[in-house]
Amino acid sequence: MTTPRKSRVITFSMPPEMAEQVRHLMQEEGRTMSELIREALRLYMDDREWRSLLRYGQRRAREMGISPEDVERLLEEYRASRSQE
């Protein structure tokens, strides 16, 4: 009896030039295409989440009347207080 697969196989296409770049990366880094694509997708999803959080923070700051200058000042004050500990 075989154990169930813990991953899914997904087929996708890319331009030939990109495929060649990926092939070079595979050779340079000694990694598989799956590893490179997984890492690229993880980085993309992390970046997307970060941008979403940034938009939320900007929206909340506007609602609270906090300007970008206020944020810089508050960060500087916080960092200064942390360095005195």
Domain extents in the chain: 16-83
Sign of CA dihedral 63, 64, 70, 75: negative
Q: pLDDT value at position 1? A: 72
How much is the CA Rg of the chain, to the nearest whole Å? 22
Model pLDDT, residue 8:
92
Element (H, E) at 15: none
pLDDT given at position 5: 84
Does the pTM surpass 0.75? The reply is no
pLDDT one digit per residue (tens) for the chain, 85 residues: 788 888 899 999 999 999 999 999 999 999 999 999 999 999 999 999 999 999 999 999 999 999 989 989 989 999 999 888 7
Yes or no: say if 25 and 36 are a contact pair by the CB < 8 Å rule.
Answer: yes
